[in-house]
Structure 1
Amino acid sequence: MITNWFDDDPLFNRYYPYDAGYRYYFEHEWGIPVQRDEQLFEFLSLGGFAAGLNWAVVFNKRSAFSAAFDAWQIEVVAAYRPEQITGLLSNSAIIRNRRKIEAVIHNARLIQQIRTTQSFKDYLWQQLGHQQLIIQPQYYDELPRTALTTSWF
């Protein structure tokens, strides 16, 4: 386990002790560098669906999203047409927000373009200067609340 929990962390206190899936996510995925483009695409997409919502709502629909978006296969999602969008909008197992669904498809197409010259993973790591951000606060309230700059590396 690499995640450090704080006594004052509301996510830990609300979800972690009671939800095995949430525990697994935070112990085996959260904060661990991702090597597969499809997994990065999944995280990007789920993050988009979480905008304006509680992360737990999206997290609990994760398997439904994976099924709905063809296991996050970038080439497949990039090829979606209006009939697939209509199908997604009628899928009650996922969040049916047209703009968010269209954003996922749009992002798949952009990733497809990036992958003509390099992997999506390499593209993202390049944006970070090929360095993982590591911060070591002692308390939850010490976590940064705004975008981090390179001074944090």
Structure 2
Amino acid sequence: MSKKQCPWCVGDELYEKYHDLEWGVPVFDDKILFEFLILETFQAGLSWITILKKREHFRKAFDDFDVEKIAHYSEEKIQELLQNPGIIRNKLKVRSAVTNAQAFIKIQKEHGSFSNYIWSYVNHKAIQNTVKDYNKAPATTPLSEKISKDLKKRGFKFVGPTVIYAYMQAVGMVNDHETSCFRHQEVSFT
């Protein structure tokens, strides 16, 4: 008998693997936090599965999400990215990756790490929600609105409350696995 998963991932092997191994697991490593931030900003207006299918292309195109390298991308590199069919070639999103890398580094310098900054919003402990039906889970919360507002003030782009809530779910700041999902309990103890 197979384990019950959140229904949003069922039926696609890549989606199921992401759900089972990554989604909702608390992430404190700045490199991974940056990767998810960039991927979530590219996801704005698109489905997450679209981004997941292109994730390896993004890693290669964006120097394995090396924040220092991305912060110093030249116009030539930006134009190269805009020609790369393996990623989402949205001019504003590509340029925002550079801007966001620069803002990310400023936060690291100010707070010691981006992890210290972002996790301080939840007192460094994941919020354990009791989602019974993922379709009824919120797309934004007052907290995602607060974080979004602060990130925008710090110069980040494509970080609206919906993107930030999806980010919070992805990096485990909130556990939104359905209560009937086998990962709900597992993630709550990580």
> Which of 78, 85, 109 pairs up with 1:116?
109
Distance 1:4 1:113, change over 3 A: farther
> Which of 82, 92, 95 pairs up with 1:89?
82
Please give the per-residue CA displacement for 1:11-41, whole angstroms capped at 9, x wherever unaligned.
Answer: 23xxx3331x222211111001112111111
The residue number in structure 2 matching 1:61 is: 54
Counterpart CA distance in 2 for 1:39 and 1:54 is: 20
Counterpart CA distance in 2 for 1:39 and 1:4 is: 27
Report the AA paired with residue 85 of structure 1.
I
Displacement after TM superposition at 1:148 (Å):
4.7
The residue number in structure 1 matching 2:137 is: 143
Report the AA paired with residue 68 of structure 1.
A
> Which of 102, 106, 110 pairs up with 2:99?
106
Counterpart CA distance in 2 for 1:89 and 1:123 is: 31
Pairs aligned (count): 143
Please give the per-residue CA displacement for 1:49-79, whole angstroms capped at 9, x wherever unaligned.
Answer: 1111121111100000000000001111111
Report the AA paired with residue 59 of structure 2.
S
The residue number in structure 1 matching 2:150 is: none
Displacement after TM superposition at 1:137 (Å):
2.2
Per the normalisation by structure 1, the TM-score is 0.83
Counterpart CA distance in 2 for 1:145 and 1:53 is: 14
Per the normalisation by structure 2, the TM-score is 0.68
Identity level (%): 35
3-state DSSP of counterpart to 1:138: coil
4+ long deviations beyond 6 Å: none
Structure number having the greater helix percentage: 2
Displacement after TM superposition at 1:147 (Å):
1.2
The residue number in structure 2 matching 1:5 is: 5
Counterpart CA distance in 2 for 1:69 and 1:5 is: 31
Q: Which structure 1 residue ranges, 5 or more long, are not aligned?
A: none
Counterpart CA distance in 1 for 2:79 and 2:134 is: 42
> Which of 127, 130, 147 pairs up with 1:133?
127
The residue number in structure 2 matching 1:35 is: 28
Counterpart CA distance in 1 for 2:47 and 2:134 is: 18
Work out which structure has the larger RCO, using CA pairs closer than 8 Å and 6 or more positions apart in sequence.
Answer: 2
Task: Say whether 1:26 aligns with 2:19.
Answer: yes
